[in-house]
Structure 1
Amino acid sequence: MKRAILLYNPKAGNRRIVNNIDFIIKKMQEFDFQLSLYRSAYTGSIQEYIINEITQSSIDLIMVSGGDGTINECINGVMKKNLDIPIMILPLGTANDFANTADIPSNLADILDIIKTGEIRYVDIGSVNNKYFINVCNMGVFSGVSHETDLQLKKNFGKLAYYVKGIEELQKYEAMHLEIEYDGKLIEEKYSLVLIFNGKGAGGFNKIAKDASIEDGYFDFIGIKEVDFIEIPKLFIKMLQGEHLEDDKVDYIKMTNATIRCLNNEVGFATDIDGEVGPPFPLNIQLIQNRIKVYLPKI
């Protein structure tokens, strides 16, 4: 019998995982896996558990359940421990942006069936300073929305809670003056928002980087240039519909690495990685190709 561990955030997705633990154990036994459990105790505890308790020879499969922030904790633990163990993602959070990119279903039984019907593939990840991300690194307006949105709001309203918080953040709008070195090139520009994608979407907007791939060896850089306050909602409607990349206020670049310096008020601008608080400027961002093994539906 193979060994699996389920690392889960009990608060994610209105406690959906907690109500399905017995079902998951039963399904994993059918798949010939002995399942052990670790319940997240606080932010960062899943990463700590992986680093302190999991070795390459002790586990055959890591299952992680929660939102994008929980998945990010798992990825950081795996990377910092230098593990090469397959990961199965149970996307039971609010936005589940990476799972949407990877076409992981939302039905729990269908997710678990990927063990039999899917395949293990290596996917790219990104690093920024001393942290790792699997979906997106972003900075500027709205970058604090995910980790600053009230937990009770997310529980009651789901993705809508992010939009309410986003409207609140608009009141603090200020453009960033950025110097960006990437792949031997240099640009200097004022941006309202910058997103560096490995995946396709963020905050429930699933078409922001609609041509991105988690297996192509590139980031998709999307920079929203400085615009008047009143233009931002119009641009975000275009982003929701996937029609923004042709706009002259949007820079779209394929890249593998970037060093980003903020030339104005760098302390005042938030950064975010996979929905969690990111590091301060300057940012040193690198793509790591084919690094993490993930159970995914067959192409």
Structure 2
Amino acid sequence: MEKVKFIYNPNSGERRIAHELDKIIEIYQRENFLLVPFRMDRNRPLSDAFIDIDDYSHIVVSGGDGTVDLVLNAMKKLDVDIPLGILPSGTANDFAKAINLPFGTKECIEKIIKSTPKRIDIGKVNDKYFINVASAGMFTDVSQKINPDFKNNLGKVSYYIKGIEEALNLRKFNIKVSSREVSYEGDMYLMLIFNGKTAGNINLAYKAKVDDGLLDVIIVKGVILPNMLPLFISILKGEHLDGYNKDDILYFKTKDVNIECRDELTTDIDGEKGPDFPLYIECIEDGLQILGYEE
């Protein structure tokens, strides 16, 4: 019987994982796997989950994007390279959407078990890794600003409430972007560097691929207010990367990019606090073995 390490965040989403533990264990056991759980806890280092990890066939992590990000960084720090499956159970599960994972527990586990591992890209910002998106500017640190209990109890509604607060306080930031493809120095409202496709359940980087060896950079420039409404309408329609106005949006694909910011600005990676500026952001091609991935 093969062993599987199950790492789960009991506080993700609306804490629904607690009600599904028996179902998860039963499905794995029926498929002749021994599931060994590790409960994420602030009082215990995540590195403990990887003791004797070479004895396991794969890892399955249950949580949202932030949980997956924490597990990814622990794997890289410990040089763990075994297949990873994601059981989405967070408030936001953007990367799970990017690789077309089902959101039903039974369907997702069966897809993970029956799949063949595939190599995908991951991103790296300075000394931290990310699986979905690195960002800075308006709306991008909303997850960090929400009280965890408030977020767990209200779920997506808490993001909308905080997002409205952000929209009422428009602020521009001065940045300098340098890559092989683009040089830009000027104001922006927000920047997003995608490995996945969506952020906050909005399909912002719909041209991105997780296995093309490139990151997708989207920067909303400091446009004049009359241009904001049509720009956001095009974003909601999913048309902003086709025939876009280069005075409003800067979009390009790249292997790596340097970004500086003169203003005090917090970065975010997959819903967790990211490194301080300046940033060196790169695509780590084939950096992770993933299970259940479907184009």
Whether these two folds match at TM > 0.5 is: yes
- Report how far residue 230 of structure 1 moved: 6.5
Q: Is 1:235 the counterpart of 2:231 in the alignment? A: yes
Q: In the alignment, what sits opposite 1:122? A: 119
SS in 1 for 2:234: helix
Distance 1:116 1:277, change over 3 A: closer
Q: In the alignment, what sits opposite 1:21? A: 21
In 2: Cα distance, 1:161 partner to 1:114 partner: 31
User: Of residues 261, 267, 270 in structure 2, which corresponds to 1:274?
Assistant: 270
The one-letter code sitting in structure 1 at the alignment partner of 2:176 is E
Structure 1 contact 209–220 (Cα < 8 Å) conserved: yes
TM-score (norm 1): 0.91
Structure 2 gap ranges (5+): none
Q: In the alignment, what sits opposite 1:259? A: 258
In 1: Cα distance, 2:27 partner to 2:52 partner: 24
- Report how far residue 55 of structure 1 moved: 4.4
In 2: Cα distance, 1:173 partner to 1:85 partner: 43
In 2: Cα distance, 1:7 partner to 1:231 partner: 45
The one-letter code sitting in structure 2 at the alignment partner of 1:289 is E
The one-letter code sitting in structure 2 at the alignment partner of 1:39 is R
Distance 1:243 1:157, change over 3 A: farther
In 1: Cα distance, 2:116 partner to 2:67 partner: 22
- Report how far residue 41 of structure 1 moved: 0.9
Distance 1:9 1:230, change over 3 A: farther
Q: In the alignment, what sits opposite 1:155? A: 152
Structure 1 gap ranges (5+): none
Q: In the alignment, what sits opposite 1:174? A: 171
User: Of residues 269, 289, 292 in structure 2, which corresponds to 1:293?
Assistant: 289
RMSD of aligned Cα (Å): 2.0
Distance 1:239 1:156, change over 3 A: farther
In 2: Cα distance, 1:43 partner to 1:162 partner: 27
Distance 1:107 1:153, change over 3 A: same
Cα distance per residue 1:168-216 (max 9 Å; x no partner): 12344321211111126532131110000000011111x2000101011
The one-letter code sitting in structure 2 at the alignment partner of 1:270 is T
Identity value in percent: 38
Structure 2 contact 101–294 (Cα < 8 Å) conserved: no
Report the more deviating stretch, 88-97 or 114-123.
114-123
Q: In the alignment, what sits opposite 1:80? A: 77
SS in 2 for 1:10: coil
The one-letter code sitting in structure 1 at the alignment partner of 2:211 is E
Q: In the alignment, what sits opposite 2:48? A: 49
Count of residues in correspondence between the two structures: 292
In 2: Cα distance, 1:44 partner to 1:148 partner: 24
Q: Is 1:193 the counterpart of 2:215 in the alignment? A: no
The one-letter code sitting in structure 2 at the alignment partner of 1:100 is K
Structure 1 contact 117–298 (Cα < 8 Å) conserved: no
In 2: Cα distance, 1:98 partner to 1:142 partner: 18
In 2: Cα distance, 1:60 partner to 1:149 partner: 36
Cα distance per residue 1:121-161 (max 9 Å; x no partner): 11100110110000000011112102212334433432232
The one-letter code sitting in structure 2 at the alignment partner of 1:136 is V
In 2: Cα distance, 1:83 partner to 1:73 partner: 13
SS in 2 for 1:211: coil
Q: Is 1:225 the counterpart of 2:221 in the alignment? A: yes
SS in 2 for 1:60: strand
Distance 1:229 1:147, change over 3 A: farther
Q: Is 1:3 the counterpart of 2:3 in the alignment? A: yes
Distance 1:233 1:3, change over 3 A: farther
Q: Pairwise mapping of residues 63-102 of structure 1 onto structure 2 (< 5 A)? A: 63-102=60-99
TM-score (norm 2): 0.92
- Report how far residue 244 of structure 1 moved: 1.7
Cα distance per residue 1:207-236 (max 9 Å; x no partner): 200010101111111010102456546533
Q: In the alignment, what sits opposite 1:36? A: 36
Structure 1 contact 146–203 (Cα < 8 Å) conserved: no
